[in-house]
Structure 1
């Protein structure tokens, strides 16, 4: 087994058993050594530790660099993390174009967080043109993978008529209901709002 793999496994074992303190710092040190040896998952994990200040001092600039290392190695979660840093201007300049590109790459690799954010950027036109249908297709895929945010966003899109000729409250109700069933706390509020404007015909279509 390569040195990076050994160091990574040791770091993960310490991380799982750690309640903080010295064990967490030892895990961070091992994770860094694994990352510096070229281990992609370790680079992403150490980037996250730097990002959130776990076992090390918080350092957004260094976090972005380690995320970039892992993203270049093809790791989808790292692509999302790097995109998030670029979108929020953490550890460097804001770059919506790069963020959107990274989210799209990660989404194609099955990263659900990326699907959520990519849909928002496509819907609003951030980092590129507005692509309503493509945004909704990514959210649909994310919802199928169990992401309640994607289901909620589809409810918002249908209720607002985004990319459609007019709002579709019936479809919006279905998506908000699904999001609520999946644990989205904001969906209940949206269902209450819809309930006050639904026509009798729309109610029958929902019940049917």
Structure 2
């Protein structure tokens, strides 16, 4: 078989793996995808090697094996496959299958980013912003996050909005920050939805609107964003942008408390102390104040002392 024919055959094997992975023209089978990717990867196809590495990293169609994921990612990365370079950066960042090394993680992400890999560009921007694995450089952070944001990556749009909001690496521009957050929020990025809600609440970068603030907080809260759950609870408890509703506030604080929020624990104690719909429940108040105090809340300790002085704690609560 000629070299060209052999390359075409290997390329076909790699493609066949993709067809099985997606169920395109054949019955979907992760195992068959791995089978054909392995054949192509062993023949030197970098794309197949990247797909095989990903399969090992996720345990799809084959038992999860981080060491083999790293081995195949390295081979495909040496073949200049951007997906493999990005994955290899992830493995080094997390210490999976290789020794944890932020410097090598950054180097591989940079190689992928230069080739246009969008998520790698986002990661490079974040590394420059935070200075983890490379010296902090807010201007470089801005440049790389801009590249990814221009390709509609919601994570990059949110992060870039933060740079504009704080004036890091770029002239402070709350209006542009809000625009970027809106783009990310429309893609259901919960962090951007929370940030946009706060911008509306404060009237910074956008016209002040408590209703819009409450609306965006609610979208993020429903996705499990704890800060948004706290904000939604606050809005419900105080009638900010929506009708005052103690039950709704209680519900969101309970959700945030499940996630370990001490602020939510304290707020629940305060809510039960003054009473849901005006009906105090000192037993529940004490329960949540004790939880918050145990997690370091000085305000909760103050309330517990007050309840003791007022005779609102009985022996069963202590």
- 1:152 and 1:49 mapped to 2: Cα distance? 32
> Residues 164 and 176 of structure 2 are in contact (CA less than 8 Å); yes or no, is this contact kept in structure 1?
yes
| Shift in CA distance, 141/25, structure 1 to aligned 2, threshold 3 Å | same
2:287 alignment partner in structure 1: 174
- 2:118 and 2:305 mapped to 1: Cα distance? 53
1:151 alignment partner in structure 2: 265
Asked if 1:86 is matched to 2:86, the reply is no
For structure 2, which runs of at least 5 residues remain unmatched after alignment? 1-82, 84-115
C-alpha distance after superposition, 1:49-85 (max 9, x if no partner): 2212222222211111111111001111110010011
> Residues 169 and 198 of structure 1 are in contact (CA less than 8 Å); yes or no, is this contact kept in structure 2?
no
Q: Which structure has the greater CA radius of gyration?
A: 2
| Shift in CA distance, 33/184, structure 1 to aligned 2, threshold 3 Å | farther
> Residues 232 and 249 of structure 2 are in contact (CA less than 8 Å); yes or no, is this contact kept in structure 1?
yes
1:98 alignment partner in structure 2: 212
Of 171, 178, 183 in structure 2, the residue corresponding to residue 57 of structure 1 is: 171
3-state SS, counterpart of residue 186 of structure 1: helix
2:298 alignment partner in structure 1: 185
Asked if 1:5 is matched to 2:119, the reply is yes
Asked if 1:206 is matched to 2:206, the reply is no
> Residues 254 and 268 of structure 2 are in contact (CA less than 8 Å); yes or no, is this contact kept in structure 1?
yes
Mean alpha-carbon deviation: is it higher for 104-113 or for 185-194?
Answer: 185-194
- 2:141 and 2:271 mapped to 1: Cα distance? 43
Of 126, 132, 135 in structure 1, the residue corresponding to residue 240 of structure 2 is: 126
Alignment of 1:66-77 (within 5 A): 66-77=180-191
> Residues 146 and 182 of structure 1 are in contact (CA less than 8 Å); yes or no, is this contact kept in structure 2?
no
3-state SS, counterpart of residue 197 of structure 2: helix
> Residues 214 and 241 of structure 2 are in contact (CA less than 8 Å); yes or no, is this contact kept in structure 1?
yes
| Shift in CA distance, 46/178, structure 1 to aligned 2, threshold 3 Å | same
3-state SS, counterpart of residue 205 of structure 2: coil
TM-score normalised by the chain length of structure 2 = 0.60
- 1:110 and 1:94 mapped to 2: Cα distance? 25
> Residues 123 and 131 of structure 1 are in contact (CA less than 8 Å); yes or no, is this contact kept in structure 2?
yes
C-alpha distance after superposition, 1:174-197 (max 9, x if no partner): 111211223333222222222221
Moved over 4 A (4+): 18-22
- 1:46 and 1:183 mapped to 2: Cα distance? 34
C-alpha distance after superposition, 1:16-59 (max 9, x if no partner): 32699872211122112211221100000111122122222222
3-state SS, counterpart of residue 129 of structure 1: coil
TM-score normalised by the chain length of structure 1 = 0.89
1:137 alignment partner in structure 2: 251
